[in-house]
Copies of this chain bind each other. A is one copy, B any other.
Amino acid sequence: MIVILKKDADTHELESLTSWLTGEGIKVMPTVGSHSTILGLVGDTSKIDINLISALDIVEDVKRVQEPYKAANRKFHPDDTVIEVGGTKIGGGNLTLIAGPCSVESKEQIIGIAEAVKKSGATILRGGAFKPRSSPYSFQGLHEDGIKLLLEAKKATGLPIITEIMDADQLPLFDDVDIIQVGARNMQNYTLLTVLGQIDKPVLIKRGMSATYEDLLMSAEYVMSQGNPRVILCERGIRTYETYTRNTLDIAAVPVLKTLSHLPVIIDPSHASGKAALVPPLAKAAVAAGADGVMVEVHNDPAHAKCDGPQSITPEAFDSLSKKLLNIKGSL
């Protein structure tokens, strides 16, 4: 951490800052210039609150050198985290295809889609039971019944399942769920993240619509700092001024997150674009950029899906897409 002092910093206050930092195990190394004085802080500054220092009268600015996340940081854990779930591995060079409908609607629907996507190479089934909808008047998912149907599809196909949790109170319903998803709108629901850090189950965290890479990694840190190391990062588009697409897929998130962290990175091209026709090119781009997998909304009848129909592709389109993705993966 680097502290830039104001021009006429009070010596007494400077001493008080220095002695506090020293007490926290930080070595303070000053560089005195004609225009300004800089303090280099050496040591583990990840637990120092940058705002506490910024607030001091003598301080003009503070800049971080070291990342504020440790458990999620590749610098301290150079090897890829590989997460094994239901016989499939996420991370470490594998390509994981996660597919399924936006929301679970009926037994026939979810089992039918599960069988189809399994045949096409998907190794994990997705499906929403608790749906965060921007309107209170929209379909909110089948809740407990949705999870039961997912479990039936798991039994029928052997596919592990991933589904979204919206509140810590729902956790007892997730006992047999394989991966718990935290949605973009809950990425900074720290109560929820803390609870998920105390269970023994992989957690997939979607990047919030206006979250930086660091914000996302800090949310992973919330889970990991509680003792749960199995976190999967998911880029699903960020909000920008462009409105033609539902969100803007930040494809650079793949190489950047994989550089900064050892956690697997999954791309969700469906929410990123909001349009079925864009899902295949974005999924291909994700694989080419080095993603550990993609999560795609697949529906047998998009025109009558209870949610997100416009961005769902058919099982036939998914079948054709998954072949292409394997080709690209092979060509890298």
Contacts and interface: CB of A to CB of B under 8 A. Distances in A.
A29 to B, nearest CB: 4
Contacts of A61: 65
A54 interface: yes
Interface of A is mostly: mixed
Given A51-B308, A252-B249, A256-B244, A332 B284 contact: yes
A121 to B, nearest CB: 16
A215 B210 CA distance: 14
Contacts of A242: 212-213, 238, 250
Contacts of A284: 288-290, 332
Most buried by B among A4, A239, A254, A332: A239
Interface string A214-258: 110010011001100000000000111111110011111011100
A89 to B, nearest CB: 22
Nearest to A140: B190
Interface residues of A, number: 107
A11 interface: no
Interface in A58-75: 61, 63, 65-66, 68
A167 B168 contact: yes
B332 A328 contact: yes
Contacts of A259: 277
Nearest to A284: B288
Given A303-B55, A310-B51, A133 B190 contact: yes
A303 B55 CA distance: 5
A239 B248 CA distance: 11
A328 B29 CA distance: 48
A285 B29 CA distance: 42
Contacts of A215: 134
A322 interface: no
A138 interface: yes
Interface in A13-34: 27, 29, 31-34
A327 B189 CA distance: 40
A2 interface: yes
Contacts of A221: 135-136
Interface stretch (A37-45, A90-98, A149-157): A37-45
Given A241-B243, A285-B286, 5 more contacts: A29-B38, A40-B40, A68-B137, A254-B285, A284-B332
State the 4 A-B residue pairs at the shortest beta-carbon distance, nearest first: A55-B309, A31-B40, A33-B42, A210-B210
11 contacts: A2-B38, A33-B40, A40-B40, A51-B310, A54-B309, A56-B309, A243-B243, A248-B250, A251-B285, A252-B281, A328-B328
